[in-house]
Chains A and B, each alone.
Chain A
Amino acid sequence: MSERPSQFRVLIVDDDPDMGAYLSLLLKKEGMLAEEAVDGESALVRIHSNPPDLVLCDVMMPGMSGFEVCQRLKEDESTALIPVVLITALEDQPSRVKGIEAGADDFLSKPVKREELLARVRTLRRLHETRKELEQRRLQVEIQRKETIRKAFSRYISPRLAERIIDDAQSAGGEPQFMLRPQRSNLVAMFADLRGCTRLTERLEVDRVVEMLNQFFTIRTEAAYHHEATIFNMAGDSLLVAFNVPFPQKDAARRAYLCATEMITRFSPVAEQWARDHGLGTGVGIGACTGEAIIGNVGSPHYMNYTIIGNPVNTAARLMQMARANELLVCEDTYAEIKDLVPKELVESRGDVTLKGKSAPMPVYSLKIVLPGAG
């Protein structure tokens, strides 16, 4: 008989080798895997190193009794669920009481009648299989739930980050901290687009333009994933990302600054190549703003987007439009969070600026990104 991992394994504990051989034979005929131990001590060692599905244990043994074996197994969390059948003498009623107290799952009387043995073992095997199946189903449901969350968010954040958020929540025994329902939240919105894009689209072949834009989007998406931003929108050549949503990030402004820096520095050699190939001047313009916005699925039943709406989003868009190539423009709140991080000589206050569509002027800061190799 081949040893399939699913085969029901029974450990027989009996000091009489003839009794062990007899029980073993009957169980093997039933398609089970039977192993034998001749005393309680060696049985416990074997059970801990390779837990069987059932323990069939004689009560009267020299050394450790069957009661003690049973009790030890039931006291230990790792073995408590293994069913134990105690084999007692037929007339021995006090042994049964003692066995129940020790936590035995069932009893067999000596002489062991094969029909009775098989009936009891089959019942326990069914219970065991039902329990295993339930556990399997519970795991399946858990995996599906995790998969649903992963799918819902993997469009917006890196798959690795989605995985980490789910795993962190699970190991902490809670639910992932995604904002699944629409809500108002403080966030850092950041827009990045391509300066010099109009000339590029006018002067080059369509296929080449698409290829170049894809290259541009790849760099920004990778930088976004790298700093664990959530991507909310791609339109034309602009990209909208945000921090601190849909899961908390204490250092959201810092991440936004580092992400903008990476976008600009990684794009710079590409821009140089494009300049050589096509004589085009290009660069990244970025605007970022901190504030409260609404986050959620917005749209019609036919078309929906997971998106952010509100003042910081509009302001970040205006700042991006104002930004020169390889410049990051930020609002006052964002700057306050990162000013220790940015060397003073790279910061320039633009004073109070009245942005398009805004009634009141607001302070704007320009953060210059130093490109590698630049003096």
Chain B
Amino acid sequence: MSQDKFTAVVAKDLEDLIPVFMSNRKKEVGILRSALEAGDFEQLRQLGHRMKGVGNSYGFAPVSDLGKSLEDAAKTSDKAATDAIIAEYADYLERVQIVYE
């Protein structure tokens, strides 16, 4: 099951968009970390909302799930939870395998 979590099934016609998409996600981790350091929970909430919208559209369900968790954690300014979510997000991006169908 955990194998499946790190496998993203992406529509074949989106293949050309994936390199930019992945690069933006990795940049996003950096931005999330800076926002957390600055205690900017409004920005964290906005970024979480964005992850939620874009993840599923591309076929990366965990990005949407993490986005939703992040949005919720940021709303309550939960620093510890936000930190854990960012770590999980970074880990996911490192390990994810993409399969085009």
Contact = CB atoms under 8 A, between A and B. Distances in A.
A29 B11 CA distance: 13
Contact of B53 (A19, A21, A29): A19
A137 interface: no
B20 A16 contact: no
Contacts of A15: 50
A89 B53 contact: yes
A114 B24 CA distance: 22
Contacts of B14: 22, 25
Nearest to B64: A111
Contacts of B33: none
Contacts of A112: 53, 57
A234 to B, nearest CB: 73
A22 B17 contact: yes
A269 interface: no
Interface in A172-228: none
A21 B53 CA distance: 13
A121 to B, nearest CB: 15
A204 B98 CA distance: 101
7 contacts: A16-B53, A17-B20, A19-B50, A19-B57, A21-B20, A22-B57, A114-B11
Given A60-B49, A89-B52, A111-B55, 9 more contacts: A16-B50, A18-B20, A18-B21, A21-B20, A25-B14, A25-B16, A25-B17, A29-B13, A62-B46
Interface of B: 11, 13-14, 16-17, 20-21, 24, 46, 49-50, 52-58, 64
